[in-house]
């Protein structure tokens, strides 16, 4: 995986996505669901989120990496 995707904590990802209108929907175990009304994303609530997982989250959210990094 490319080093351009950072390794982040779940709360950092949630903070950035909340700026795009994503709100908490539900949680089962260590995975939380967030939605903006049109898209639902699943975020693992582990110590850190791996690069490949972050890439998948951004695909689910319909965001480009550059847009996401500006929201951090």
The rounded average pLDDT for each run of 10 residues, N- to C-terminus, in the chain (72 residues) is 86 97 97 97 96 96 96 94
Residue 54 · residue 2 · CB < 8 Å? no
Torsion from C-alpha of 11, 16, 19, 23, nearest 10 degrees: -40
**pTM of the prediction?**
0.92
* 52 is a domain residue: yes
51: CATH = 3.30.920.30
- Look at residue 39 and tell me if it is in a domain: yes
Q: Say if 2 falls within a structural domain.
A: no
Its domain, for residue 16, covers: 10-71
54: helix, coil or strand?
Answer: helix
Counting the structural domains of the chain, the total is: 1
pLDDT for residue 3: 79
- The pLDDT value recorded for residue 1 is 57
Q: Is residue 55 part of a domain?
A: yes
Interatomic CA distance for residues 72 and 53, integer angstroms: 17
């Amino acid at each position: 995986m490319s080093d351009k995707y950072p390794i982040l904590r779940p709360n950092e990802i949630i903070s950035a996505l909340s700026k795009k209108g994503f709100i908490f929907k539900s949680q089962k175990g260590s995975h939380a669901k967030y939605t903006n009304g049109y898209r639902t994303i699943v975020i693992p609530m582990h110590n850190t989120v791996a690069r490949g997982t972050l890439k998948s989250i951004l695909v689910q959210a319909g965001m480009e990496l550059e847009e996401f990094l500006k929201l951090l």
